[in-house]
Amino acid sequence: MTSSGLAPAIDTVAPFFEPFTLRSMTVANRFAMAPMTRDFSPGGVPGADVAEYYRKRAAGGVGLIVTEGVGVDHPAAVDWTGVPHMYGEAALAGWRGVVDAVHGAGGKIVPQLWHQGPLRNPLNSARPDVLGQRPSGLWGTPGLTSYEDDYVARMATPTAPMTEEDIADVIAAFARSARNAIDVGFDGIAIHGAHGYLIDSFFWPDTNRRTDRWGGSVRARAEFGVEIVKAIRAAIGEDLPILFRFSQHKQQDYNARFAETPEELGIILGALADAGVDMFDASIRRFTMAAFEGSDMTLPGWARKLTGKPSMTVGGIGLNNWLQDTFKGRGETLAINNLDEVRRLFDDGMFDMVAVGRALISDPEWVQKARTGAPFTPYDATSLGRLA
Ligand SMILES: Cc1cc2nc3c(=O)[nH]c(=O)nc-3n(C[C@H](O)[C@H](O)[C@H](O)COP(=O)(O)O)c2cc1C
């Protein structure tokens, strides 16, 4: 916030309203809607209400919408039955409606392809007989987490490590679903490689104890993600961009990290970049958080520096409160204008795009307000429940 408490001057945000191009996709500005799961697609099929939800954000000025996590074409991909799928005629027809609505409002949209891996809870799903896919059968060591103890205890029961066939099936599922997405008109693909879900569980040595080509060294832990990126690139061709979300923190433990040093991070992100990633969406809990001791550089800053690829930041833009505190109702979540701080980090070369999550659930017109300097609408604490 500015010291006067007023919104930063419009020239503070001017660079965020410059277009940005990744391969053949040009977005009108640097604001993206962060991927946010909703559970509003019964049977995996997004309906007219989902199209309207995204259309409103595009009409409100969001340059790039990254959808909620979308299940890939694999029986163990997602648990809740209202999470949308990227396969099957009905779901794909629904997505065509979403894409057309967003394009009609002048926006671009990419689906976040998701496999929950260790975090899939079979009991929440329509297929309780299908166990989660885990590189070494492990859920991960619980640390600082929002999950309740009894839930963690249930999920921590080890399952069978993934076989070569299991791995090949999931890679093929990502590629098929990516192709489906492009066929219904999406502008590119976003891959969910963060937060302790399947791809991240290969990066994280705590859940990946393998000693074959999929684990052991830092580079080998990248291999599953690399093969998914390559398979998607082969399925969608060279024109359209691939975004890759990664994080140090996990749902199992917010203090966990898969890379202990910038060198380790560089090995994993470099391999992903070589495989075909066009932009890294570095998921951090607060956009100012430094990634490693001894430097102020944030995770998106490191991603950009280590790979030479563009990056996207996220976490607390337009809000005073951390996501987990909002979820748990700890402290009040207030709409604040912290775009001058975002601009400072942008000028320091930390990122190219800015993802906004909760603020855009609460107010579909948030980006317009950022552009004109109009006061932000007070944060609506009930909006996370509605997600509409
Ligand atoms: C309701 C909700 C659902 C979320 N679902 C996802 C998801 O499906 N995939 C993902 O990568 N991140 C997910 N996130 C994390 C957000 O993308 C974002 O990183 C986080 O909310 C921090 O941004 P914010 O402070 O602007 O809200 C979710 C966050 C919220 C609030």
Ligand 1 atom at minimal distance to the Cα of residue 35: 17
Q: Is 315 in the pocket of ligand 1 (CB under 6 A)?
A: yes
Determine the Cα–Cα distance for residues 83 and 113; give it in Å rounded to an integer: 11
CATH 3.20.20.70, domain 10-386, yes or no: yes
CA of 101 to the centre of ligand 1 (A): 22
Pocket test for ligand 1, best of 31, 36, 246, 376 (most atoms within 8 A of CB): 36
Kindly report, residue by residue over 250-272, the tens digit of the pLDDT: 999 999 999 999 999 999 999 99
Contacts of 150 by beta carbon, 8 Å cutoff, 6+ apart: none
pLDDT for the residue 20: 98
User: Mean of the pLDDT values across residues 353-376?
Assistant: 96
Helix (H, G, I), strand (E, B) or coil at 308: coil
The pLDDT tens digits of the residues spanning 81-123 come to 999 999 999 999 999 999 999 999 999 999 999 999 999 999 8
Confidence at 4, pLDDT banded by 50, 70, 90: very low
Q: What is the tens place of the pLDDT at every residue in 30-54?
A: 999 999 999 999 999 999 999 999 9
Q: Is the CB of 84 under 6 A from ligand 1?
A: no
For the segment 190-235, what is each residue's pLDDT rounded down to a tens digit?
A: 999 999 999 999 999 999 999 999 999 999 999 999 999 999 999 9
Q: Is 112 a pocket residue for ligand 1 (Cβ < 6 Å)?
A: yes
Residue that the structure tokens 């809607």 belong to? 33
> Which residues, 6+ apart, have CB-to-CB distance to 20 below 8 Å?
26, 27, 29, 30, 63, 310, 352, 353
Active-site entry in 53, 87, 197, 379: 197
Please identify which residue in the block is written with the tokens 């609460």.
362
pLDDT band at 2 (very low <50, low <70, confident <90, very high): very low
Residues ≥6 apart with Cβ < 8 Å to 84: 41, 44, 45, 46, 50, 67, 68, 70, 71, 91, 94, 95
Would residue 197 show up in a list of annotated catalytic residues for this protein?
A: yes
The answer on pLDDT for 387 being more than 60 is no
How much is the mean pLDDT over the chain?
94
Q: Is the CB of 69 under 6 A from ligand 1?
A: yes
Distance 213 CA to ligand 1 centre (A): 32
Predicted local distance difference test score (pLDDT) of residue 329: 80
Average pLDDT score over residue span 239-251: 98
Structure-model confidence comparison of residues 134 and 2, the more confident one: 134
What's the confidence (pLDDT) of residue 9?
66
Residues 67 and 289: their CA atoms lie apart, in Å, by 24
Does the predicted model carry a pTM greater than 0.85? yes
**What are the tens digits of pLDDT across the range 122-173?**
988 988 998 889 999 999 999 999 899 999 999 999 999 999 999 999 999 9
- Those residues whose C-beta lies under 8 Å from the C-beta of residue 219, and which sit 6 or more positions away, are 267, 268, 271
What pLDDT shows up at residue 382?
A: 84
Alpha-carbon dihedral sign for residues 46, 130, 244, 282 = positive
Protein residue with its CA nearest to atom 30 in ligand 1: 36
Q: What is the pLDDT of residue 68?
A: 98
Every domain of the chain and the residues it spans:
10-386
Distance CA 218, CA 203 (A): 8
CA of 357 to the centre of ligand 1 (A): 6
How far, in Å, is the centroid of ligand 1 from the Cα of 4? 30
Going by the DSSP 8-state scheme, the letter that residue 123 receives in this structure is G
Judged against a pLDDT cut of 90, whether residue 299 lies above it is answered with yes
C-beta of 316 in contact with ligand 1 (< 6 A): yes
Chain-centre distance for alpha carbon 345: 20
What angle do helix axes 89-104 and 164-183 make, rounded to 10 degrees?
Answer: 50
Looking at residue 106, the DSSP 8-state letter turns out to be T
CA of 212 to the centre of ligand 1 (A): 33
